């Protein structure tokens, strides 16, 4: 997201614009309320109805508060949660694969596989808002893709180890650079850069894209096999349709197991949003506004926890506004708009970043590798053909580092 701040009309405009867009997309507690629906079903032994709405919302508050408690206390609890989430991810994927292989018919598998390569087929009477929501969220669309890089920064990957991070409430303060840091483009650093780039390619193409496709396929297989065509998805029953269907076909034991899987998927998604969105908004405001950086003595934690509190207050209000599927459709369709804007913005950034990369190569390897202004021109401003790009990069070593810090 910080890269977006380096385009015209400047960080002040884009910082506040993306902060607002991020909030209106992912500020809705849809996943938390849906997780509460699954939790209420487990407690009641049946799917909650309209008469159980207050109980579901109460559980929604507990889910929401649990997420806030986890992200507020610092790295030790988050590290423990990471281990738990890894275990649950393996368990959820293992369960879905097992059920889909054993219980789903070859015909349904064929429909799914064909669907990945079929275009232009939309069933008459389809709900376009629901289809748009599915398309927008199928690959964590909207601002969700962008703020993943904040997690990589806080984990200290690559140059993230040199720019600081947002500390927990009970941790000592940490300096957070508002414009990043660059490395000296010598051969050792460029070699480390290439290794990190390969790491990111594997992360995006294998883990993220492969995981997204697998996640869509495994859950959709259950829906096609066990949820009758034309079923009305709405009310408080949306989180229970697959569980009811597989339980009716193969036994009651599958109902709580499937609900637990659904609860964990929804809870972990809400947790990721509560952790990611305040961090992302803080990053954008920290980068885009000198006034924000001066506020409260320049302590980035004050900004982060201020955003987190506002997020929490709004979430508690939004829990009472609509049922989970409605909130999800609202958020996802806003995400579709954000996704389109970010796609164009990313292409602009990529064009400029490619030129900066070529400049680095020219300075260390081959002066004929690309046609660019002289390497001494560090402004990074290329008037043609990308008039919107402005790269106010800090000089190498502004934050004292060595090549080893980038390895």
Tell me the pLDDT tens digit for each residue of 10-20: 888 988 898 89
pLDDT of residue 75: 62
How many whole angstroms separate alpha carbon 322 and alpha carbon 305? 27
Do 370 and 358 contact (CB within 8 A), yes or no? yes
pLDDT of residue 396: 42
32 burial via Cβ count (<10 Å: 0-12, 13-18, 19+): buried
In the predicted structure, residue 210 carries a pLDDT above the cut 60:
yes
Query: What pLDDT, in 10s, does the model give residues 217-236?
Result: 998 899 999 988 777 766 67
How many whole angstroms separate alpha carbon 282 and alpha carbon 382? 29
pLDDT of residue 76: 57
CB atoms within 10 A of CB 278: 26
In the predicted structure, residue 302 carries a pLDDT above the cut 50:
yes
pLDDT of residue 211: 86
Residue count (the chain): 407
Do 266 and 239 contact (CB within 8 A), yes or no? yes
How many whole angstroms separate alpha carbon 5 and alpha carbon 332? 24
How many whole angstroms separate alpha carbon 34 and alpha carbon 47? 12
Query: What pLDDT, in 10s, does the model give residues 80-131?
Result: 667 777 888 898 999 999 999 999 999 999 999 998 888 877 777 788 888 8
Partners of residue 7 on adjacent β-strands: 389
Q: pLDDT: is 78 or 346 the higher one?
A: 346
Confidence of residue 58 (pLDDT cuts 50, 70, 90): very high
Do 188 and 402 contact (CB within 8 A), yes or no? no
Please state the domain extents for the chain. Answer: 2-117+129-406
Query: What pLDDT, in 10s, does the model give residues 338-385?
Result: 888 888 888 888 776 666 556 555 554 444 444 444 444 444 433 443
């Amino acid at each position: 997201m910080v890269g977006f701040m380096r385009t015209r009309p400047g960080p002040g405009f884009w910082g506040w614009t993306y902060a607002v867009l991020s909030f209106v997309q992912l500020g809705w507690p849809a996943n938390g309320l849906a997780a509460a629906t699954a939790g209420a079903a487990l407690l009641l032994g049946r799917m909650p109805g309209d008469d159980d709405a207050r109980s579901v919302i109460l559980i929604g508050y507990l889910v929401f508060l649990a997420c806030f408690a986890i992200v507020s206390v610092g790295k030790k609890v988050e590290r423990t949660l990471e281990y738990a989430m890894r275990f649950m991810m393996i368990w959820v994927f293992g369960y879905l694969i097992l059920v889909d292989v054993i219980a789903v018919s070859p015909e349904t598998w064929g429909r799914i596989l064909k669907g990945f390569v079929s275009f232009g087929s939309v069933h008459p009477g389809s709900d376009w808002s629901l289809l748009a929501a599915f398309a927008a969220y199928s690959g964590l669309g909207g601002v969700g893709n962008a703020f993943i890089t904040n997690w990589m920064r806080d984990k200290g990957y690559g140059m993230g180890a040199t720019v600081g991070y947002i500390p927990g409430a009970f941790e000592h303060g940490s300096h957070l650079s508002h414009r990043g840091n660059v490395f000296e483009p010598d051969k050792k650093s460029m070699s480390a850069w290439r290794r990190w780039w390969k790491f990111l390619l594997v992360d995006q193409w294998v883990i993220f894209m492969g995981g997204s496709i697998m996640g869509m396929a495994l859950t959709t297989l259950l829906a096609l096999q066990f949820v009758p065509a034309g079923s009305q998805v709405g009310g408080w029953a949306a989180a229970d349709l697959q569980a009811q269907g597989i339980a009716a076909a193969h036994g009651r034991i599958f109902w709580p197991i499937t609900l637990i899987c659904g609860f964990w998927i929804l809870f972990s998604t809400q947790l990721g949003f509560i952790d990611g969105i305040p961090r992302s908004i803080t990053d954008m405001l920290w980068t885009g506004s000198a006034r924000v950086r001066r506020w409260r003595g320049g302590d980035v934690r004050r900004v982060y926890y201020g955003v987190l509190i506002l997020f929490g207050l709004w979430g508690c209000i939004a829990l009472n506004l609509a049922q989970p599927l409605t909130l999800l459709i609202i958020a996802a369709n806003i995400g579709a708009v954000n996704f389109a804007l970010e796609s164009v913005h990313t292409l602009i950034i990529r064009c400029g970043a490619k030129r900066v990369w070529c400049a680095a190569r020219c300075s260390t390897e081959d002066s004929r590798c690309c046609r660019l202004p002289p390497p001494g021109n560090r402004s990074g401003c290329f008037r043609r053909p990308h008039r919107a790009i402005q790269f106010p990069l800090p000089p190498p070593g502004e934050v004292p580092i060595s090549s080893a810090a980038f390895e």
